Structure 1
Amino acid sequence: MKKSDALTVSIGVLAVADTYITATVFPVPVWVTFIAWASFFVVGGGPRGFVQSVASNLTGLIIASLSLLAIALSNQTPMVAAICVGVGSAAMVQASKLKLLKVLPAVVWGFASTVGTSVATGKAITTAGIQNPALIAAAALITGALFGIVSEFLGDVLSHKPHTAPNSIDLALQESQK
Structure 2
Amino acid sequence: MTPLLALTISIAVLGGVDTYLTATVLPIPVWVTFIAWASFFACGGTSAGFVKSVASNWIGVIISSFCLLAIAAAPGSAAFAAVSVGLGSGAMILASSHRALGFPPAIVFGFASTVGTVAATGSPITDASITNPALTAAFYILVGAAFGFVSEKFADVLATRRATA
TM-score under structure 1 normalisation? 0.89
**Deviations 1:133-152, CA, capped at 9 Å, x for gaps:** 11111111111000000000
1:60 paired to 2:60: yes
Q: 1:29·1:140 contact (CA, 8 Å) conserved in 2?
A: no
What residue is the counterpart of 1:173 in the other structure?
none
Q: 1:123·1:131 contact (CA, 8 Å) conserved in 2?
A: yes
CA shift for structure 1 position 75: 4.5
State the SS of the aligned residue for 2:84: helix
RMSD value, Cα? 1.1
Bigger helix share: 2
Which structure 2 residues correspond to residues 135-154 of structure 1 after superposition, within 5 A? 135-154=135-154
State the SS of the aligned residue for 1:124: coil
What residue is the counterpart of 1:100 in the other structure?
100
Structure whose alpha-carbon radius of gyration is higher: 1
Aligned equivalents of 1:118, 1:75: Cα separation in 2: 15
**Deviations 1:83-140, CA, capped at 9 Å, x for gaps:** 0000000000000000111000000000011001101111110012122111111111
Which structure 2 residues correspond to residues 1-178 of structure 1 after superposition, within 5 A? 1-160=1-160, 161=162, 163=164
CA shift for structure 1 position 162: 5.2
State the SS of the aligned residue for 1:28: coil
Aligned equivalents of 1:52, 1:28: Cα separation in 2: 23
Q: Which runs of 5+ in 1 are unaligned?
A: 165-178
Q: Among all aligned residue pairs of Structure 1 and Structure 2, give the percentage whose two residues are the same amino acid.
A: 57
Consecutive aligned runs of 4 or more in structure 1 exceeding 2 Å deviation: 161-164
Q: Which runs of 5+ in 2 are unaligned?
A: none
**Deviations 1:4-46, CA, capped at 9 Å, x for gaps:** 0000000000011101111112222210100000000001000
CA shift for structure 1 position 76: 3.7
Letter of the 1:87 counterpart: L
TM-score under structure 2 normalisation? 0.96
Aligned equivalents of 2:139, 2:21: Cα separation in 1: 13
State the SS of the aligned residue for 1:97: coil
Q: 1:45·1:152 contact (CA, 8 Å) conserved in 2?
A: yes
CA shift for structure 1 position 62: 0.3
Letter of the 1:47 counterpart: S
Q: 1:36·1:145 contact (CA, 8 Å) conserved in 2?
A: yes
Question: Would you say how many aligned residue pairs link Structure 1 and Structure 2?
Answer: 164
